[in-house]
Amino acid sequence: MKRFKKLSISIFTALSLFVAISLPAQACTGVIVGRDLTEDNSLIFGRTEDLEINHNKVYKVHKAGEYKKDDKLVDVSYDEKNGYEFIFPHDSYHYTSISDTTPEYGLFDEAGYNEKGLMADMTVSASANEEILNVDPYLDGTDEGKKVGITEAILPTVALTTCDNALDAVKLIADQVATKGAAEGNGLVVSDSNELWYVEIYSGHQFVAMKYPNDKFSVFPNAFWINEVKLTKGEETDNYIISEDGNYVYSKDIFETAKKANTFKGDEKNNIIDLQASYAEKELADSNRSRVCSGILALNPDAKIDMNTKVYNFLQDANKASISVKKVMDFTRNRMENLNKEAEDKGRGDLYPIGNRNTMEAHIFQVPKDADKENPGLMWLSLGSPLVQPYLAYYPNQTEAIDQVQNETNDPDKEKSNYWLAMDNLHMLEANRKEFIKDISPKIQELENEFVKNTPIKGQEDPNQTNKKDAKKSFDLQTEINKDLKEKYEKYLDENAYTSTFYGKNLTADFTGMTLEVPKATSKTYLNLSVIPDENGSDGSIEIVDNYGNPVEDLKNPVTLSIPKEAFKESPKFATSGEDLKLEEKDGNYRLTTTKSSIQYAANKANSTKEKQEGSAIVSNEGSLASKNPTNNNKLGSKKIIIALVILAAAIAFVMGKSKKDNK
């Protein structure tokens, strides 16, 4: 997934977003299982949607005619003025979606059904190699004044509102990429009751869609995966070609672009191209390697692969009838247990698991063998992390849902929001995952097994009431887990010391590895770190915050920050409002001990002199103490907040205008 950072739930979280406009952070994982490999001969496909914690998602029902014929829909996810535009060819269909709660930054309808039985599951972000992009770059707003190409923010909406079936959706996407271009690379799925198509959008105008076979399965995190294919010429339109066997739809220059980039691998004479070798990035990121390897082995433990496998084939084999929908649910929770590896979540490390902390929602479509347009199956949905809740069935003809799954609040209201309740449980779980999961998992599995056993895949007589009844069961269970967890969580924090680690992005990258050592009984909430640089990047503040980015003031014991010296270009000075800081240098770090939750740093001598004159408590790296003046102790903190707010506004404007985005 690729998207802008959204405005969030508190001033301090919002300020943090300014510095978190980041290097690419790709984290979605898709899965497809053909009918021959499933226990009940159903087609299964889905995705974990991963970007970040504290990012609300909701289930929505869109009535037919929400958009009228000839209405113009403008995608604002990259550029409000030059965003991709779509003109509706007819009144929009009734459809459902799993949507973001900040449409002002892009719709991101993600996945759902429409009234024609079309299912859309979008998207898994990826990027072509540099050589390809030099020949056919993304239309992402980099060229001033030029229109942005189609993006994942609007793709699901365009397909679900207008298309009648999967091939119809493939052709629409092909037309749009060919004529208007793509702003980004993606892998996506469209399906109906008869067939599923997997689509890879490689570069500004190149794409290939594959009709998925029944006897294979695939796991696809953030890269391009289709290997060697034979792309013959059958039907040819102005914008794309359909192969003779009808199994591929592809861009007209798919061979030529790779040849121009000198990346072509295949046998052009026989219409064969290895798409992964020709278009994908040259090295598979370890975070992708860990997910594809653990994911394949989760669905087929006998697969002959490991973490050193050079090429993971897109189309994988497994025994017939060996994969259940429950197995796919557990796949989305995989934390590399089957590789005997310790998952690295918080810093998006090399061993990044499928079941990671950044999962905002996860969904699994199940299409029975006797599906039809009116009854194309159901979608299992975890609104929030599936690590802390059961999957729940949602239906194609559903028109209502409980309030808690439709609550669009961006305040962490666990009483009224399924997402925020799940997020709260996840935050508490992470304080002592190994022990707490033992109490949570059996309860989740028991209810989920009940849902799977008792839910007919097709022909639900009263989808609204059935979903609501089960949704209430799920919400009640999560509430029970929350109450039980809270007691264990606070007891754990009261009796145990711990160390929290900061992982920076972009402007704060040099602070990566900064730690916070917290003695037992210091706070009732797990403590985290946030860094807020000022406009010149050399000064700023380090904030001690709770799980939602809110400031924490009631530190009952001194905490110790260990800050890498390399975070500063010059020798820094540190300050808090009204308290001396204990400072030492050790092992290439500055170690600060304090009971305050806000520490200002200054590496700019002019700024440091000014702060001294105002009476703030400044400690230099030699340990000297500036004069203290209790009357003026709050000035530095207040000024930093004001400056940071101004920077935040400027940063948001910059992001909207220059298309700085996060990838997911």
Do residues 67 and 73 lie in contact, with contact meaning Cβ atoms separated by under 8 Å?
yes
Element (H, E) at 435: helix 433-454
Structure tokens at 453: 């056993």
Question: Which residues pair with residue 236 across a beta bridge?
Answer: 241
* Helix/strand/coil for 200: strand
Structure tokens at 537: 């990047």
Task: Determine the Cα–Cα distance for residues 36 and 23; give it in Å rounded to an integer.
Answer: 40
Task: Determine the Cα–Cα distance for residues 620 and 534; give it in Å rounded to an integer.
Answer: 19
Task: Determine the Cα–Cα distance for residues 111 and 155; give it in Å rounded to an integer.
Answer: 10
Structure tokens at 177: 């990429």
Q: Give the residue from 158, 1, 6, 194 showing the smallest Cα distance to 656.
A: 6
28 is a catalytic site residue: yes
Sign of CA dihedral 597, 602, 607, 609: positive
Amino acid at 206: Q
129, 436, 579 from 433: Cα distances, Å: 38, 5, 35
Do residues 106 and 4 lie in contact, with contact meaning Cβ atoms separated by under 8 Å?
yes
Structure tokens at 258: 């790779």
**Terminal alpha carbon distance of the chain:** 3
Do residues 430 and 357 lie in contact, with contact meaning Cβ atoms separated by under 8 Å?
yes
Phi-psi region of 461 (alpha: psi -120 to 50; beta: other; left: phi over 0): alpha
CA dihedral 567→573→577→581, nearest 10 degrees, is 90
Amino acid at 556: K
Q: Show the 3-state SS of 153-165.
A: CCHHHHHHHHCCC
Of the residues 28, 210, 277, 602, only one is catalytic, namely 28
Task: Determine the Cα–Cα distance for residues 357 and 384; give it in Å rounded to an integer.
Answer: 10
Do residues 67 and 92 lie in contact, with contact meaning Cβ atoms separated by under 8 Å?
yes
Do residues 170 and 197 lie in contact, with contact meaning Cβ atoms separated by under 8 Å?
yes
Residue 299 CA to chain centroid, in angstroms?
22
Q: Give the residue from 250, 248, 245, 282 showing the smallest Cα distance to 263.
A: 282
Amino acid at 585: E
Element (H, E) at 288: helix 286-299
Within a 10 A sphere around the Cβ of 456, how many other Cβ atoms? 12
92, 114, 163, 289 from 66: Cα distances, Å: 6, 13, 15, 41
* Helix/strand/coil for 643: helix
Q: Give the residue from 249, 93, 54 showing the smallest Cα distance to 171.
A: 249
Q: Which residues are catalytic?
A: 28
